[in-house]
Structure formats: structure tokens, C-alpha cells
Structure 1
Amino acid sequence: MSTFKELGLNKNIIKALTDLGYENPTEIQLKAIPQVLSSSEDLKAFAQTGTGKTAAFSLPILEQIDAESKDTQVVILSPTRELALQIANNIEEFSKYLDGVKTLAVYGGASIEDQIKKLKRGVQIVVGTPGRTVDLINRKQLKLNNIKWLVLDEADEMLNMGFKDELDKVLAVTPKEKQTLLFSATFPQEVERIAKNYMYKPVELSAGTKNKGSDQVSHQYYVVSERNRYAALKRIADVNPDIYSIIFCRTRRETQEIADKLIKDGYNADALHGDLSQAQRDSVMEKFRKKHLQLLVATDVAARGLDVNDLTHVINHKLPDQIESYTHRSGRTGRAGKEGISIAIVTGREKGKLHPIERIIGKKFVKTPVPTGKEICQNQLFKLIDKVHDIEINETEINDFLPSIYEKLEGLNREELIKRFVSLEFNTFLSYYENAPDLNDSEHMRGVDSRGKRRDDENMSRFFINIGRKDRLNPARLIGLINDQQIAKNIEIGQIEILDTFSFFELDKNYQDETISAFQQNDVEFEGRSVNVEKTEKKRSGRGGKSRNSNDSRSGGGRRRSKDRKANNEGNFSGFGRKKPSSNKSAFGGSKSSRRRKG
């Protein structure tokens, strides 16, 4: 296997890499470093998350940079401030034995005046988010005259986050005589467009197959009803006592709600999303890196650039809207040669979304049953016994107390002591999971009535729309029509019923008024017909299938509300991944107060 020295890097860079424990280059480093060192051609490189992309583009640049000049020679764009800071920190570590090389991270949420002062003092490498970089260019504070390298890291994610205009701006105003290095984990059409418009005959490198998931990650899915989604999440956490995971949600609100529930239920958890201040984000990430938190609930955007290598699991509380985002999510685990598990919690009607993801990652999802109470108790109990077996005994401190302890326990044999000890630690846990319900959505029929009609989803509102099959309406076109109204970003669409001359659809009940307003204000037309949308009551089950609304009576059927509340509210007692009511210590040794958000 090649070494970094054999790739052509100087002794000062090699020394820094040795200090950091870098021994052999990864596949993308092995391919990219010689290419950038030996050629000024543009480079389009595919590399999965966690494969060492930062070193792949920064090491050959550091080898060639002019340390005697204070001019900015490198601009590196990244989608988030966390990733920008991580890249800048990595480059500072790589260049610590290179005299005169200075790196600056520029991003929103920090003082632009401070960043301008540092730019004026001279920095060769600027790592920035697209918005702040454009701001500094417009203020004529970021000088581009001597730019030799422009790096687009995580280009696909920058486009997903809506930075197309900013990328176009930077690419358009940087000098033509430069080397553009584009690194991306996936290559959707928009990334290919950038490569076509702003790169000249780029060399293409690939570490692995484009858009394919990491070989170190296995993929599982659990099928549950919507009302059991959170309960299933808790069981997944409980059955894995050593879990260290990011839980991905689609919206900031959902992220905070799930984190708040987990904290209330005693888990070592917290939220990471765009509504937090920089100080709050830094505090949460510091706790997570130190493993004072086991579960980090995050949005896709907030989780970009997290420098965490030991995650055991990535859990998709809900699948992302963009298929490519799943690759980014799952790439958070299975890093640095370690194995990881990516889990998707889906309802029966969401299962079809797994197939296109499987085609992209080149792997199959394995259907896995939601753990039973017995399985959870067994795993947690054996974990407890292992901890007892492996604990170090402080002979000096405990010896003075032993005579009194032996006296109090006199008369109890070995078997009785073990039983009492286990019962003391475990009775509450066993009681909590006693007669725990089955949460698996067997053949997607949990949550349906005896006639096969699906019961109410209490989070959805039902709407009537005056177009149907005769207007050439189908579910896909109806979804497109709804999305065109821009009611809310990533709004959840529920059941759809297409009839001959009218139809019904369900949307997130939190956007009920916005839905009606959007269709009224936009004067929507479909196939030449004026579209009318009205709120309608959900169908109710009962004899004769009568409904409360005449529109609904035309579609027949009925629904009933499930009376089984236990699975939806699995109580507040927690296992060893959570604090027990009698304990103030976390599974990682943190105090009770350390689990609460300070911000």
C-alpha cells in the first residue's frame, strides 16, 4: 500500500500527518493527491462521506501554496458553518509545520468585521459558506485576483440547501486561470450542470461507485404505524445499550419535538437544527463529541460536517425528501474502517420509497422486527452484568466498609445475592416492558379496520378537490399540484383517493388554513378546469358506513379511531440508555444536568 510520502508530499506535511495518526492514504486520497500535484486540470471527484475528502484536496494544495505571499490563493466552499470550521481546523492541523500558511473560516452567525480584519492581515486559504463568501466578495474584502484553486466540497448538498445562485456568483467572478476541484458524495443533474458550465474538460475520479453507500454500513428498516413511530424509536434505542447515534428528522419543528420527548423520557439526547444559536449548537456538539449525549436529533442541514467517527447507528425517524440525502445520512456511520447500521422507520405506505434508495446505494434494506420487551430486557440485563463483571474495584477506599457490609448480608448465599442485586437494578425495567404490545405493522395491516379500510391518522386533515379521473388526475399529478402551491416546505401528504369527478387527499393538519388559502389565492386550474379545495370531515366507521359529510359518502367505507393508547405512549421509564428514576448518572457517566440543554 502506498504511503503519503510516496504520493509526493514534503516532510513537514508528512510530520503533521504522523502526529495525527495518519498512516496510509484512503482510496480518494490515493487518486486525488497525485492528480492535483501533477496537473492543473480541473477535477470532478466522487467520494462518499467520511472517506477523507478534506485531505484529498487540501494536502496537494498545501504542497504547492506560496507561503511567502499573503494573498488569498485558495477558496473552499462548504454547505454549513460546521463543515467549514471542520475543514479549516483540519487544514490548520495539516499545515502546522508549514511556516507562514494561514487559514480562515468565514460563515454567517459570526462577526463579519472580525473576519474582514483577519483577511486584511493576510490569509492564503479561505474556507467559507456560500452566503458569507459572496457577502465578503460584494464588500470587496475577499480579493480574488490571485486565486489559484477553487474547491467545492459537498457540492450536491450546497445545491440541495438552495445555494445555486451563490455558487454561480463565486464561480463567475473567480479568475479563469484557476484549478477548480469539485468533490461530491452524489452527482445529481444540478452538480453535473455546474461541472459543465464552469469546469474545462475536468478529469473525473471516483472512490467507489457514484452515489453508492459505504460498504461498512448495513441497512435495516422497521415497518410501524404512524402512531407507533416514536415508540419504535425508543425500543430501537433500548435494545442497543451502547447506542451512539444521530436521529434524522425532516423539519426543525419535528427535530425539536422528538428531542424534547426523548429528554422527557430520560434519554441522554438533544437537538441540533437551524433555530439554535451558534453558542447552543457548539454546546450540543461538544456534549455529543464527549459522549455525554447518546442520541443527537438533527436535521440534514445541521448534521452536515459533523466530525464524529464512532457512531454505531444512524436512525431515519422519517426518510428524507431527497433520495440522495439518504446517502449523506447513512455516511455518518461506518467511518474510519468501523461498521455501522443505518435504520429507516417507515409506515406501510412509505415502504415503496426504499426501492429507489436501494438502487442508489447498491444495497438491500433488511426488514427487521421492532424489538419485543423480552429482547430489550435480555440485552439490557446482559449489559448490566458485563459492567459488573468488568468494573475496577477500589480496594483502598472500600476496605473500611466491607466488615459492616458482610455483617448486613450474612445469611445470604451467592445465588440469593445475585437475584437481589439484579432485582434491585431491574424490577422497574421489567415491569415497564411487561406485556408490552407488538409494534410491528404486520403486512401493513396494523391501523386498519376489519374491512381493510385504514383508520384515522390524527395528524392529518382531509380535503375534497373537485377534479378526478375524468380530468386525467392521478396520485402523482395531484401531489405535483399540491406541491406547486408551496403551502409549506416538505409538507407531509397522506392518503389520496382518486374518484371519477372528484377526489380526496390528506395533508398535515398544522397547515389546514394555509392549504385552503393557497388554492383560493392562486386561482388554480387543472386541465382547463378551475380547482376548488374544501376541508372535509374524515370518514367515520359505523353501521352502514355513514359519514358526516356528503362528499365523503360518495367514496364509501369508514374509519374508526384505535383505542390502544399504550403503544403510542410507552411510559416514561427508561432503560440503561436512559436514566432511571432513582439515578442521576447517564450511561456514559454524565450527570443528570449535563443532559439538559443549557441554551
Structure 2
Amino acid sequence: MNPFSQLGIRHDVVNAVTELGFENPTPIQEQAIPALLTGSSDFVGLAQTGTGKTAAFGLPLLELLDFSQNLPQALILCPTRELCLQIANDLKKFSKNIDNVHVVAVYGGANISDQLRQIRRGVQIVVATPGRMLDIIGRKAIDFSGVRYVVLDEADEMLNMGFQEDINNILSTTPEEKKTWLFSATMPAEVRRIAKNYMTDPFELTVGTKNTGNVNIDHEYYVVKPRDKYAAFKRIVDFNPEIFGIVFCRTKIETQEIAEALIKDGYNADALHGDLSQQQRDKVMKRYRERSLQLLIATDVAARGIDVNNVTHVINFSLPDEIENYTHRSGRTARAGKTGVSIALITARELGKIRQIERVIGKQFVKAEIPSGFDVCEKQLFALVHKVKAVDVNEDQIGQYLPRIMDEFAEFSKEDVIKHFASIEFNRFLDYYENAPDLNAAAIESKSSDRGARGDKFGRNGYKSDYTRLFINLGSVDEFTRGDMLGFICNNAQISGKSIGKIDLKGVYTFFEVENSIADKVLNGFNQADFNGRSVRVELAGDRDGGGGSRGRSRSSRGGDGGRRSGSRDRSDSGFRDFSGKRRERKGEKKRW
């Protein structure tokens, strides 16, 4: 007998679940389903991301609802569009053998008229993000008076995203006698308050220890200098030829720039962040699920609800601001009992944050060494050898070409053929990583070294000598955001955003950094610029922000190079900005084939 039948699930649903490849229930499903099937109490379930929570609440709902009535009986709230669609699609798959089951996904970024039309046709289960659900409630387009069950999925993340007031407003439209089921990966105080406010003596279930990480995930960290972060990241990727991963960044700009740099360097990568339209997000996710993308570069919010099987690695290009978000990030790998690796790229100053995360997840990180160029070449070579050995040979199709192939290799011994074939790949990596430098940084550095690593103070790459700091007489009072300022500078100077470092937006003026090599171009680009009829002035920052010497000269008084650069333009170790991938030649890290 199928183990799901023993939990009390009807055969029609068990058959559908079996066809989806679910043979045995996960621990959260095994313990939650019997409790929820009683339908008699509120419920709090704490389990890590990727442990099968959707089936844990979805299967009991299919047993408890009356599908002969076309009115809302269950409401499922979740934080993101992706998770909303995933839950709705899973419920449709689970219920495919049951008649008259109607599930509607309600989320922002899609046509609200289509969603309203589906609701009017009749629905028993509504899966929604809070913002769009409130919009539909405000239009008086749905009646929740018959709702019997409310599910709050990823409750901790909904609160992190600021949805508490929305959740309160939505729940106020549902009957008091309903049952509330709350699922969360972590249990901060805010989630505990929701449980207290909306539940009566709930049944509590914890699978694993509160706030801990998945035991099937190995956690590693690499210590690098800020300027080497992108190069180190690429080397880790190259050292894992079969990587299928998600790379987390802190901001949308960082996400987009890393993705663009990777694409330029020959990797199958793309970005997923909040500025993309729903159509763009769907396209990126479709490519990722089909594995035509090897690396998905994402922000925390955009990645919520991503349920893709067999993700091998999660890479934290930047550690999250909220430590608990690390649990959600790492939970993208090692799903459904698989194993995975979560990697953090850190500077020496962030070692304390790793220790904090260790305390939260209850598991130690392993300090790993960034592989040498030789190590990468060796790993790639044997990955090729294993791929050749495992390839399926289509005898029928290749047979017609074999005589010509044999003629080509007539003068070669077996050893010669192998050496030539292997060298096709090996030579590319050997050339790419020739004289590759050691990118590992010491975990404990001197105070002077620590000061040099502070990328926020010295520009995004962490080294003042690579950037020139400029002043512009526009600021926030002119209704500029940092993004607006970035676009304004790029348009007037005709440069890429990747050439710009930190933008320090003030009230009536702004400081910004540009690569030394294009500073003159930027200054000249603003010679005739104006904004709303007012002349725009761009100068070297100099004394305006504590600088001195010849760096303080303005565009009009500067002679020659003006002493503008505070360091050599051709530093041999300045090959990468810390995340954009913009290259100034560095031996050993040439552009990927």
C-alpha cells in the first residue's frame, strides 16, 4: 500500500501524487497530514524550505473541502508571485483526478481582470499574495464568509517583507470560526505574535530544531579581498563543472551587473529581480527549470518560492542583511532529501557574521580555499573525460561518418587521439588560468589591511586608486534617486553603468566614483549639460569631501592629468571590481573563451 494512503489520503489523490513521483512522505508530511485531516484545530508547522510543506497542507485541504460548492472555502497566503503560482499548480496536479476542483492564483504583475473572471466563475481554493488579495477585496469582488481554512505559508518571509498589516486586514474579512494553519521555516517573535493573535491553542509541530538549516547542506565560506570577489566566484564555478546553482546578491543592481558580466564571460546565466516584468520573470524561470541556464542570479525577494529540483549549489555573493534570510537562501538546495552546498564569499571583516549564522543554523561552516588555476584545469579535464566515457553513442547515425573519421586519424595512435581530444578543452583552461594568482585572503588581517577592504568607504571595488571621485551639483532635492543619478550620468557621459562606483546622494549635490580610465570622458561629457534649464557642473571632488592636493582642481583649472589619480592606473592586482566583472587586464584572469 502507498504510504500516503496510510496517512488517510483518498486513492484518487494518492494516484495523482504517485504519478508525480512522490513515493514516501517527507517528515513534515508524515506528521502534519494526520493532524490536519482532523480539521479540528489550528496548526503551527515549523520546517525548512524544500521539505514538502505544500503537500503537507494541500493534501488535507483536498480531503476536507466540499467541491460541490463553488465558493471560496480555503485561502492560502504566501509572499511572492513565484510561490503563489507554484502552490496553485501543485494543488491542480494533486487534484487532477477529482471533479470540479477550482484553484485560482491571485498575484500582482498579472492581469487582474483575468483573475477576477476566474473568481466569478467559481473557486474553492484561493492562493494569493497579500497585496493583490487586498486589491480584490477592496473591489468587493470576493466573499470570504464561507472560508473554513486559512493557510499562511512562509509566514516569516511575509512579515520580513512588511505584509503584517495586509495580513491583518485580509484575515479580518474571514469568519472567526475558521481554522488557521501557519507554516514557516523560522519562528521569529513576529510569527509567534500572529499565532497568538489568530489561533486558539494550536497544534504545534517542529520538524528539526527551530531556525536550523537543512542537515543535508554543507556550508562553506571563502575569504577574499573585495576587488577579487568576482574572479574568485568565477573560479569556484569553473571548479564545479556540473554546477546548477542560484547566486544571491543584496541589491537588484548588483544582481543585474553580475549576470551581465557572467554572460559576457561566456557563462549560461541570467538575473531574477523585482524590476523584471512578470513575462520576463517567467521566461527566466522557464529557462532555469529547463536547465538551459546554469546560474540564476537573484535577490532574496525574487528567489522566494523558487522550487527547482536538483540545485547543486547556493552561492552567497553577498551575505544577507538579515541573518535568518541565510536559512531561506540555503534552503534552495538539498530539497526533497537531496544534498547540496551553500557557499559564502566574504571579506575578512565579515567573519563575525559567519559565526552568527552558525549559531542560528546550528551547523558549522567549513573554511575552504579558492582553488588554484591548476586545480581548475585538472577538474575540468577529468569532467570532460567522464562525460566522454558516459556519452550515449548513436551507432546508426554516426556509422556513416566513421570511415572518414578513421581516415582523419589513420596516422594517430590511440594515445595520440586521446591526447588531442582532451587538449581541446584542457588547452582553453590552461591558457585562461596561466599564471593565475592566489585569490585567498587571510581570515584575520591587520587594521590597515582591514581599512583597505572597506568597499563602501573606498568605492565598490574597495581601492580608491582604481576610481576617481567626482562632484555634481544635483541631488535629492532635484528628485533624483541613486538609480536616476546613475542613468543621468550614463546618458550624458555615454558610458556603461558598470564603470561607475559608489553614488553618494546628498541634498543639493552628489558625489560619485568612476573608473580612472574614463574620468576625463565623464568630465567632458558634462561640458554643455543642463537639467531643467540649469547648468550642470561636474568637478573632481577634491576638498569638497575632505580630499586634498591637486585632486581638488575643477575641470576648468585642471592642467594635463592634474594629478587626478591617487594611484597607478596599471596596478597588476586590480583586475576586477568587486562584483561587476568590468575588466582591466590582469595576468592570469583573461576573458573566458
TM bracket (short chain): 0.7 to 0.9
2:35 partner amino acid: Q
Please show how residues 489-504 of structure 1 align to structure 2 within 5 Å.
none
Superposed displacement of residue 126, structure 1: 0.2
* 1:64-100 deviation line (CA, Å, top 9, x unaligned): 1011111100010010111011000111111111211
SS at match of 1:510: strand
In structure 2, relative to structure 1, the CA distance for the partners of 1:104 and 1:83 (3 Å cut) is: same
In structure 2, relative to structure 1, the CA distance for the partners of 1:185 and 1:509 (3 Å cut) is: same
**Match of 2:68?**
68
Q: Distance in 2 between matches of 1:228 and 1:241?
A: 21
1:65 partner amino acid: L
2:189 partner amino acid: Q
Contact 1:317 1:345 in 2 (8 A): yes
SS at match of 1:315: strand
Superposed displacement of residue 514, structure 1: 3.4
**Match of 2:505?**
513
**Match of 2:471?**
none
Superposed displacement of residue 138, structure 1: 1.2
**Match of 1:205?**
205
Q: Distance in 2 between matches of 1:378 and 1:365?
A: 26
1:197 partner amino acid: N
156-165 or 253-262, which deviates more: 156-165
**Match of 1:437?**
437
Q: Distance in 1 between matches of 2:383 and 2:27?
A: 37
Please show how residues 230-269 of structure 1 align to structure 2 within 5 Å.
230-269=230-269
In structure 2, relative to structure 1, the CA distance for the partners of 1:580 and 1:275 (3 Å cut) is: same
Q: Distance in 1 between matches of 2:404 and 2:120?
A: 71
**Match of 1:387?**
387
**Match of 2:451?**
454
Q: Distance in 2 between matches of 1:357 and 1:418?
A: 47
1:514 partner amino acid: K
Q: Could you tell me which of 549, 555, 573 is aligned with 1:564?
A: 573
Q: Distance in 2 between matches of 1:457 and 1:213?
A: 30
**Match of 1:493?**
none
SS at match of 2:123: coil
SS at match of 2:302: coil
Q: TM-score, structure 2 length as denominator?
A: 0.79
Q: Distance in 2 between matches of 1:353 and 1:28?
A: 30
**Match of 1:45?**
45
Contact 2:49 2:185 in 1 (8 A): yes
1:137 partner amino acid: I
Contact 1:223 1:444 in 2 (8 A): no
Superposed displacement of residue 535, structure 1: 6.6
Superposed displacement of residue 443, structure 1: 3.4
In structure 2, relative to structure 1, the CA distance for the partners of 1:566 and 1:580 (3 Å cut) is: closer
Superposed displacement of residue 391, structure 1: 2.3
Q: Distance in 2 between matches of 1:214 and 1:419?
A: 43
* 1:494-542 deviation line (CA, Å, top 9, x unaligned): xxxxxxxxxxxxxx96341238989xxxxxxxxxxxxxxx9734799xx
**Match of 2:272?**
272
**Match of 1:17?**
17
Contact 1:72 1:123 in 2 (8 A): yes
Contact 1:456 1:538 in 2 (8 A): no
Contact 1:266 1:572 in 2 (8 A): no
Q: Distance in 1 between matches of 2:315 and 2:259?
A: 13
**Match of 1:106?**
106
In structure 2, relative to structure 1, the CA distance for the partners of 1:515 and 1:342 (3 Å cut) is: farther
Q: Distance in 2 between matches of 1:425 and 1:248?
A: 29
**Match of 2:421?**
421
52-61 or 20-29, which deviates more: 20-29
Q: Distance in 2 between matches of 1:268 and 1:215?
A: 29
In structure 2, relative to structure 1, the CA distance for the partners of 1:434 and 1:69 (3 Å cut) is: same
Contact 1:2 1:25 in 2 (8 A): no
**Match of 1:300?**
300
**Match of 2:545?**
536
Q: Distance in 1 between matches of 2:126 and 2:333?
A: 28
1:63 partner amino acid: E
In structure 2, relative to structure 1, the CA distance for the partners of 1:356 and 1:198 (3 Å cut) is: same
**Match of 2:556?**
none
34-43 or 405-414, which deviates more: 405-414
In structure 2, relative to structure 1, the CA distance for the partners of 1:570 and 1:167 (3 Å cut) is: closer
Q: Distance in 2 between matches of 1:220 and 1:341?
A: 7
Contact 1:231 1:570 in 2 (8 A): no
Contact 2:351 2:443 in 1 (8 A): no
2:457 partner amino acid: M
**Match of 2:337?**
337
Q: Distance in 1 between matches of 2:59 and 2:449?
A: 61
Q: Distance in 2 between matches of 1:345 and 1:380?
A: 22
Q: Distance in 1 between matches of 2:404 and 2:115?
A: 65
**Match of 1:484?**
none
In structure 2, relative to structure 1, the CA distance for the partners of 1:175 and 1:155 (3 Å cut) is: same
Identical amino acids, percent of aligned pairs = 52
For structure 2, the residue ranges without an aligned partner over 5 or more in a row are 460-480, 484-499, 511-542, 553-565, 586-590
**Match of 1:358?**
358
In structure 2, relative to structure 1, the CA distance for the partners of 1:273 and 1:141 (3 Å cut) is: same
Q: Distance in 1 between matches of 2:140 and 2:97?
A: 31
2:573 partner amino acid: D
* 1:175-232 deviation line (CA, Å, top 9, x unaligned): 1010001100011111111111222222211111111100110100000011111111
Superposed displacement of residue 459, structure 1: 5.4
SS at match of 1:177: coil
**Match of 1:405?**
405
Please show how residues 373-384 of structure 1 align to structure 2 within 5 Å.
373-384=373-384
* 1:15-72 deviation line (CA, Å, top 9, x unaligned): 2222222222211112211111224211111011011111111111110101111110
For structure 1, the residue ranges without an aligned partner over 5 or more in a row are 463-486, 490-507, 519-533, 541-546, 549-558, 574-578, 582-599
Q: Distance in 2 between matches of 1:13 and 1:537?
A: 70
**Match of 1:523?**
none
Q: TM-score, structure 1 length as denominator?
A: 0.78
CA RMSD of aligned residues (A): 2.9
**Match of 1:184?**
184
Contact 1:42 1:201 in 2 (8 A): yes
Contact 1:224 1:444 in 2 (8 A): no
1:565 partner amino acid: S
In structure 2, relative to structure 1, the CA distance for the partners of 1:2 and 1:42 (3 Å cut) is: farther
Q: Distance in 2 between matches of 1:2 and 1:44?
A: 26
**Match of 2:328?**
328
**Match of 1:119?**
119
In structure 2, relative to structure 1, the CA distance for the partners of 1:38 and 1:408 (3 Å cut) is: closer
1:4 partner amino acid: F
2:220 partner amino acid: Q
1:237 partner amino acid: V
Q: Count residues in correspondence.
A: 502
SS at match of 2:6: coil
SS at match of 2:237: helix
Superposed displacement of residue 7, structure 1: 1.6
* 1:345-372 deviation line (CA, Å, top 9, x unaligned): 0000011111121111110010000111
In structure 2, relative to structure 1, the CA distance for the partners of 1:18 and 1:560 (3 Å cut) is: same
Q: Distance in 1 between matches of 2:424 and 2:26?
A: 49
Superposed displacement of residue 253, structure 1: 0.8
**Match of 2:558?**
none
Superposed displacement of residue 419, structure 1: 2.1
Contact 1:263 1:270 in 2 (8 A): yes
Contact 2:349 2:450 in 1 (8 A): no
Q: Distance in 2 between matches of 1:405 and 1:24?
A: 50
1:512 partner amino acid: D
Superposed displacement of residue 164, structure 1: 1.6
SS at match of 1:350: helix
Contact 2:348 2:450 in 1 (8 A): no
Q: Distance in 2 between matches of 1:426 and 1:222?
A: 26
**Match of 1:161?**
161
